[in-house]
Every structure is written in structure tokens, then in C-alpha cells.
Amino acid sequence: MNTLSYKTVSQRKEDVQKEWLIVDAADQVLGRLASSIAYVLKGKHKASYTPHNDDGDVVIVINADKIKTTGKKAEQKIYLRHTGYPGGQRETSFENMLKDHPERIIEKAVKGMLPRTKLGRQQYTNLYVYAGSEHAHAAQQPKEININSLR
């Protein structure tokens, strides 16, 4: 009887090797960029992908203030939030969000593409977004990548 000489290996939490990657968001389309970032945060770009472990890489996004959208989203997109008080629903337009807090646009888009579980919340902590081209993670020696080439 023939038996297979290989087995499916499930990566353990202790064996995960996280890389620090830097992504330039300048002139990137928001949804496509967020989808690729979520793909990397989940670890699906690695051959050692394990669905129940946080084996994704750490992603630093710079130039969030230069993000682009398609169609009329720049004029029509609305972000909703709630204060927690009765009648406390607040809305902010894409243009105002881009002007005041451009990093939140990418953070919300990526968070919406991650699982709504403990694991998804853990993976989300590996995302760092900065409005300008400066970041505080030079000591980690991040590798600059073209995020669109990973998918």
C-alpha cells in the first residue's frame, strides 16, 4: 500500500517569522490597496499560511494622504460613527476625513476586510498608517514592497 511521503504542516505560534514591510499609498486606489494589505496581514501570501494563527507580516503604510478613489466616491462617500448617546450618529465625508485624518481612511478599509474575530483584531494590530512619508519604525528595517505584486 502506498502512503504519502509528505504531510500537511500546521505552523505553530512560536514558529512564526514576521517581516516588516513598508507600502507607499501614493496614487493607489483605496479598495485595491486595502484588499492587498489585508491579504498580507492575514499571512495568505506565505506558503506557511495557517488559518488559525496570526502568521501575517507587519505592514507600515506611508503617504495615506495621497490615496485615490475611483468614480464619484471622493464627493459621495460618507463615514458613519456613533457617540453612544441617543441621537448620537455622526457622519463625515470622505473629503473631510482625507483632510483631517487621512490615516483613518485606510485603517477603516483594512479593518473591514479582516475577520470579525479575536484573530482578526490581533492581525489588525500589525498595521501602522502614517499620513506623510515619515514613520517611526526605522529600527525594524522594513522592506519596501510593491503591494500589488503579492496578489
Residue 90, φ and ψ in degrees, nearest 5: -120, 150
* Helix axis angle, 30-42 to 102-111, nearest 10°: 60
Cell of 147: 503591494
Domains and CATH numbers, the chain: 19-135 (3.90.1180.10)
Cα-based distances in Å from 127 to 62, 71, 95? 11, 27, 23
Cα distance between residue 42 and residue 44, in whole Å:
6
Comparing CA positions, the residue from 13, 40, 49 lying closest to residue 124 is 40
Look at residue 144 and tell me whether its pLDDT is greater than 80: yes
**Are 21 and 137 contacting, i.e. CB atoms less than 8 angstroms apart?**
no
Residue 21, φ and ψ in degrees, nearest 5: -120, 145
50-80: pLDDT as tens digits: 999 999 999 999 999 999 999 999 999 999 9
pLDDT bracket for residue 8 (50, 70, 90): confident
Q: Name the average pLDDT for the chain.
A: 93
